[in-house]
Structure 1
Amino acid sequence: MSHSTTSRPQRLVLMNPGPVITDDRVRSALAGPDMCHREPEFSDLLTRVRHKTTLVAGGDERHSSVVLTGSGTSAVEAAVSSAVPAQGGLLVLDNGHYGERFHHIAAAHGIRSRRLDMGWATSLDLSAVEDALAADPALTHVGVVHHETSSGMLNDVAAVTRIAHEHGREVIVDAVSSIGAESVSLADDGIDWLAGSANKCLEGAPGLAFVCAARQAFEALADAPRRSYYLDLYRHYTAQAKAAAPAFTPGIPAFYAFETALDLVLAEGPRRRHARYEGLARQLRSGLEELGLDILLPPHQRAVGLTAVRIPEALDYTALHRGLRTEGFVIYSAQERLSRNFFRLSTMGCMTAADVDRFLVALARLLPGKN
């Protein structure tokens, strides 16, 4: 028995922070030809994707990239487990779920870490960062999240990097939810290790992640401890940079899609991509405030890709999610300590102003006293 689809919305708008709505050209690229990853065709594709990834990350001829088949977390874990030396340690700047994840990754690999718990949705205390580095010279690396998607907070990674370098330390930046939408640059910001994902603000398909760094930094990993087999960055760098081959079987369709997405972001340019996201976020936030809803962070702390909103009185998240899903919108719950009172709305991906307008109308219908 067939099911009628006449009442279903024609367009499902993903307002979760990845996977995102992708361009038709990205989706079409997933249907590229079957390919052996040990043939020259894939070597060429891998080399092109690595080069374009480095450019998007603000790198130049001094920098390189390693592309992994995995989620954004795989890139963060690869960077932490590979870059921190045997006798080193990690200073974790924690003001949300993903900052805390740095601490858990370090613990899983037996890496000593010190966690500066700033509190969720709280700006980083840069003086505390400086004091911690001055007090403990064995903390060789600092882990910081650029866009903390548990709250929508944008952290000042450039300032963290300046402080770390003044103390002779390296910085590992989780740029998974920021690269492509926010200003972040290996060369301009002096970031030592940048971890990212294909499927958020770069608008590729899920399945690929990457780590970008100076070529010299990758080469120096030859003497680093081998804490992981699959996530060993030196293993991947050696295979990809020197043999133009993957260390393991890659997700080839995702590479097709990622190259197309990278071409699109390079053509659009970082300023226009940021402005597009900023415009959608401003439109959404203005509409939310007109509906009387509270946004978690003050304007100067907000990333352009996500907005955390207080759940309206007389509604719970389950009812809100169900009602909006019926209208063609997928929203996202908040995490852990924010989950009781907040939900999250992403403006990542190929969302349009018409999508945002339609969402605000649908949301208004669900609010008590607004319909």
Structure 2
Amino acid sequence: MSPRLVLMNPGPVNTQESVRAALGGPDLCHREPEFGELMSRVRRKVTEVCGGGPDHTSVVLTGSGTSALEATVISALPRDAGLLVVDNGHYGARLYDIASVHGIRCRRLELGWGVPVDADVLDRTLAADPSLTHVAVVHHETSTGMLNDVAAVAAVARGRRCRTIVDAISSVGAESLDITRDGIDWLVGTANKCLEGMPGLAFVCSSRQAFEGLSAHPARGYYLDLNRHYRTQAKAAAPAFTPSVPVFYAFEAALDLALAEGVPARGGRYRALAGRLRSGLAELGLRVLLAPEHRAAGLTAVRLPDGVRYEDLHRALKREGFVIYAAQEQLAGGFFRLSTMGAMDEQDIDAFLAALGGLLLSLGPGRSAAHEIGETE
């Protein structure tokens, strides 16, 4: 057995032993009723985690979170639709790119990285273009660690008779999010982040009525045609294509743990770990991006000290048993990211801070001043 690595990257995350063990379930043909029953249970549990009621359902895809996001964007929009993308980070820009590559008429509300969504600006933007029918937004923007107020976005969208697509890939299962309470039309997630499952499965949750309406929309894809997946999964209790059977076993085990713990409790566990981490970083003289009220529980963006290269820090910490994550694009070179998702505990956080503190003494003594927008002590 290899030594355990504490994965402080934002997915895939460390998992419980019962989830890993479930991968070794029996060989099973995906066209047999036993798999249909497994898939139906997973769909039902996913819907429950998302806050869906009897009028909601979910579709599970074999693929990364991006596959489910692309399936939703290309399937949920009618032929004459117009999409407004809220962009305040890398993954907001990705939503725009997905729509653009498929030729969907799309407009970007570009706020700037780490800039909170202004409901009044969003409302004015929608009012200025009545042809916009859908709004897409990222809940947890992991490029910065920002948590967007998707309930406020959905409320504005409803006021303008628009539907909302929420990228909840890095939030569902831990952050405060409820498809019913928050008025979300389409919620997209993945198994391998806050739900603490294995990579390889993603899902879409919506109302049964919305899924039924997909048949009237143009098919802009084949494998990623959400209507095709819904029809087979809901009507025939069968997958449209060959699924990752072992990962379904593991996902059900992870969902059972998530439902037993409860979304509020898991979110509280993540917030406690994040608070412990951020306090320790402050004691080491390191600065964290974003004001506290905008930070997600699952990720922290940290400024690199002067004279310390990310590559050196990553290499040294990995030797100590910790995997950290590089920042992206405009934050690359100046920041790194630390996740508190997954099966980690206070001892992991304390051991990480001790290792980091020792390494900073040898890698570089400098400490940089905070000058990014929203950066605080």
Cα displacement (A) at 1:94: 0.2
Give the equivalent residue in structure 1 for 2:185.
Answer: 192
Question: Are residue 33 (structure 1) and residue 22 (structure 2) matched?
Answer: no
Residue 233 of structure 1 aligns with an amino acid whose one-letter code is: L
Instruction: For 2:214 and 2:14, locate their aligned partners in 1 and report how far apart those are by CA, in whole Å.
Output: 36
Give the equivalent residue in structure 2 for 1:368.
Answer: 361
Question: Are residue 11 (structure 1) and residue 11 (structure 2) matched?
Answer: no
Cα displacement (A) at 1:181: 1.0
Residue of structure 2 aligned with 1:93, choices 78, 86, 91:
86
Please list every run of at least 4 consecutive aligned residues from structure 1 whose deviation after the TM superposition is greater than 6 angstroms: none
Instruction: For 1:138 and 1:79, locate their aligned partners in 2 and report how far apart those are by CA, in whole Å.
Output: 20
Q: What do residues 33-64 of structure 1 show as CA deviations (whole Å, max 9, x unaligned)?
A: 11000001001001000000000000000000
Cα displacement (A) at 1:14: 0.3
Q: What do residues 180-230 of structure 1 show as CA deviations (whole Å, max 9, x unaligned)?
A: 110111111110000000000000000000000000000001100100101
Cα displacement (A) at 1:320: 0.5
Residue of structure 2 aligned with 1:249, choices 222, 242, 245:
242
What is the number of residues matched between the two proteins?
Answer: 364
What is the percentage of aligned positions where both structures have the same residue?
A: 63
> Which consecutive residues of structure 2, in runs of 5 or more, have no partner in the other structure?
366-377
Give the equivalent residue in structure 1 for 2:140.
Answer: 147
Residue of structure 1 aligned with 2:216, choices 220, 223, 231:
223
Give the equivalent residue in structure 1 for 2:276.
Answer: 283
Give the equivalent residue in structure 1 for 2:152.
Answer: 159
Question: Are residue 340 (structure 1) and residue 333 (structure 2) matched?
Answer: yes
Contact conserved, 1:305 with 1:348, CA < 8 A, in 2? yes
Give the equivalent residue in structure 1 for 2:306.
Answer: 313
Instruction: For 2:313 and 2:60, locate their aligned partners in 1 and report how far apart those are by CA, in whole Å.
Output: 37
Give the equivalent residue in structure 1 for 2:123.
Answer: 130
Give the equivalent residue in structure 1 for 2:368.
Answer: none
Give the equivalent residue in structure 1 for 2:197.
Answer: 204
Residue 107 of structure 2 aligns with an amino acid whose one-letter code is: R
Secondary structure at 1:186's aligned position in 2?
coil
Instruction: For 1:340 and 1:120, locate their aligned partners in 2 and report how far apart those are by CA, in whole Å.
Output: 16
Give the equivalent residue in structure 2 for 1:22.
Answer: 15
Instruction: For 1:312 and 1:257, locate their aligned partners in 2 and report how far apart those are by CA, in whole Å.
Output: 39
RMSD: 1.2
Residue 266 of structure 2 aligns with an amino acid whose one-letter code is: R
Secondary structure at 1:213's aligned position in 2?
strand
Instruction: For 1:151 and 1:194, locate their aligned partners in 2 and report how far apart those are by CA, in whole Å.
Output: 21
Q: What do residues 16-37 of structure 1 show as CA deviations (whole Å, max 9, x unaligned)?
A: 0000000000000001011000
Residue of structure 2 aligned with 1:54, choices 47, 57, 64:
47
1:76-91 aligned within 5 A: 76-91=69-84
Secondary structure at 2:181's aligned position in 1?
helix
Instruction: For 2:52 and 2:264, locate their aligned partners in 1 and report how far apart those are by CA, in whole Å.
Output: 16
Residue 28 of structure 1 aligns with an amino acid whose one-letter code is: A
Instruction: For 2:131 and 2:27, locate their aligned partners in 1 and report how far apart those are by CA, in whole Å.
Output: 48
Cα displacement (A) at 1:368: 3.1
Q: State TM-score, norm by structure 1.
A: 0.97
Secondary structure at 2:361's aligned position in 1?
coil
Q: What do residues 290-338 of structure 1 show as CA deviations (whole Å, max 9, x unaligned)?
A: 1000001111000000000001111100001011001000000000111
Residue 99 of structure 1 aligns with an amino acid whose one-letter code is: G
Instruction: For 2:115 and 2:331, locate their aligned partners in 1 and report how far apart those are by CA, in whole Å.
Output: 13
Instruction: For 2:350 and 2:361, locate their aligned partners in 1 and report how far apart those are by CA, in whole Å.
Output: 19
1:174-185 aligned within 5 A: 174-185=167-178
Give the equivalent residue in structure 2 for 1:299.
Answer: 292
Secondary structure at 1:64's aligned position in 2?
strand
Cα displacement (A) at 1:237: 0.3
Residue 310 of structure 1 aligns with an amino acid whose one-letter code is: R
Instruction: For 1:89 and 1:302, locate their aligned partners in 2 and report how far apart those are by CA, in whole Å.
Output: 30
> Which consecutive residues of structure 1, in runs of 5 or more, have no partner in the other structure?
none
Q: State TM-score, norm by structure 2.
A: 0.95
Residue of structure 1 aligned with 2:108, choices 96, 106, 115:
115
Cα displacement (A) at 1:85: 1.1
Residue 340 of structure 2 aligns with an amino acid whose one-letter code is: T
